[in-house]
């Protein structure tokens, strides 16, 4: 059996033909038309998927199922976007599964949709860093902070499909001069307000860093050259990230923790203080829990999205 897995994000949409063993046979990527509305995005996504189905057919591979990991809170049973940020204008309310089914001339039941971080976690649980485990917690630190708890091969979505928004609970690190730092969700004092990529850039400026407006990558480059404020900024962000991961592990007691996202790819300057903070936060019974880097890279959400359609009995946990 083969499926097309789609990773539909705020800036790009990647898709690939995936085998029943989790191998990505070939893939393509297009920009997400994030200013053009839901129907335009569905048109472009359907064209991308149709092209891959055609390539598969030319190689003698029949593909009749599509799994999608999409930005936004996703009603996985209806295949619809419950809510979304301004990163994709007009995305909330979009009927992804019905829209793609009509455009691809496939039964709606052959298309399954879930939030992109849940797809990412499902990929890592299937063939990645958490392969072979009964439960795993994935937390991703990048442009935002998101996560997913996979239990017996199924992501826990939450009763209203917003489970996994792990960037939006209180962090004692997300304060300055006694005041909570504003978060993109409209709240304040949250993990994402300090532990995300944009938050690192903002913290560097706030702490009096060099003139200019470096992004997170620039802050890491400055730290590598000995910039004391950059080093302090990264350490604070990593500590906030690690405390959050440790607290979540205390609550969920997963078999393994997987840490993903662009910040985790920065290597030891971020990973070491992050893991120290995780270990400091853990309850004694969890002291030896594995904390692993994700292993599938950009393919994780494609593989996880495809996994959605490979198990007929797959259901979604709604706590």
pLDDT in tens, 136-188: 999 999 999 999 999 999 999 999 999 999 999 999 999 999 999 999 999 99
Does the pLDDT at position 316 exceed 90?
no
Same-domain check for residues 117 and 140: no
Same-domain check for residues 114 and 39: yes
The tally of domains found in the chain comes to: 2
Same-domain check for residues 77 and 48: yes
Same-domain check for residues 68 and 84: yes
Residue 214 lies inside a defined structural domain of this protein:
yes
Same-domain check for residues 207 and 102: no
Residue 59 lies inside a defined structural domain of this protein:
yes
Backbone angles phi, psi at 196, to 5 degrees: -90, 170
Same-domain check for residues 156 and 274: yes
pLDDT value of position 313: 43
Confidence of residue 212 (pLDDT cuts 50, 70, 90): confident
Which domain covers residue 274, as residue numbers?
133-294
CATH number at residue 35: 3.30.420.40
The residue behind tokens 């009964």 is 134
Same-domain check for residues 106 and 159: no
Backbone angles phi, psi at 25, to 5 degrees: -80, -45
Residue 314 lies inside a defined structural domain of this protein:
no
Same-domain check for residues 95 and 167: no
Residue 313 lies inside a defined structural domain of this protein:
no
Same-domain check for residues 139 and 100: no
Residue 158 lies inside a defined structural domain of this protein:
yes
Give the pairing of strands 256-260 and 291-293: parallel
Residue 312 lies inside a defined structural domain of this protein:
no
Same-domain check for residues 84 and 147: no
Rounded to two decimals, the pTM is 0.94
Per DSSP, helices labelled H in the chain are 38-58, 96-104, 116-127, 192-195, 197-206, 216-224, 228-252, 268-281, 300-307
Residue 317 lies inside a defined structural domain of this protein:
no
Q: Across all residues in the chain, what is the average pLDDT?
A: 95
Token pair listed for 18: 């995936």
Same-domain check for residues 118 and 29: yes
**Cross-strand partners of 172:** none
Same-domain check for residues 138 and 235: yes
């Amino acid at each position: 059996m083969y499926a097309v897995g789609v990773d539909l994000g705020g800036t790009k949409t990647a898709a690939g033909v995936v085998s029943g063993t989790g191998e990505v046979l070939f893939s393509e990527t297009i920009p997400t038309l994030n200013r053009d509305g839901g129907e335009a995005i569905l048109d472009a996504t359907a064209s991308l998927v149709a092209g891959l189905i055609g390539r598969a057919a030319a190689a003698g591979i029949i593909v009749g199922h599509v799994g999608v990991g999409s930005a936004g809170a996703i009603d996985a049973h209806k295949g619809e976007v419950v809510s979304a940020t301004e990163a994709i204008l007009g995305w909330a309310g979009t009927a992804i599964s019905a829209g793609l089914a009509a455009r691809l001339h496939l039964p709606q039941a052959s298309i399954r949709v879930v939030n992109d971080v849940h797809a990412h976690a499902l990929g890592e649980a299937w063939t990645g860093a958490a392969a072979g485990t009964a439960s795993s917690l994935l937390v991703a630190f990048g442009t935002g902070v998101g996560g997913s708890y996979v239990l017996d091969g199924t992501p826990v979505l939450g009763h209203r499909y917003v489970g996994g928004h792990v960037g939006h609970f209180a962090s004692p690190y997300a304060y300055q001069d006694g005041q909570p730092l504003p978060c993109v969700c409209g709240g304040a004092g949250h993990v994402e307000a300090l532990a995300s990529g944009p938050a690192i850039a903002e913290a560097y400026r706030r702490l009096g860093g060099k003139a200019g407006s470096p992004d997170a990558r620039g802050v890491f480059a400055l730290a590598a050259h000995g910039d004391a404020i950059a080093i302090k900024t990264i350490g604070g962000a990593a500590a906030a990230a690690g405390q959050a991961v440790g607290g979540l592990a205390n609550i969920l007691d997963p078999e393994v923790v997987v840490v993903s996202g662009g910040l985790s790819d920065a290597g030891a300057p971020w990973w070491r203080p992050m893991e120290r903070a995780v270990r400091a936060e853990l309850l004694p019974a969890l002291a030896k829990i594995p904390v692993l880097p994700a292993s599938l890279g950009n393919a994780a959400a494609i593989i996880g999205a495809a996994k959605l359609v490979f198990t007929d009995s797959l259901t979604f946990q709604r706590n």
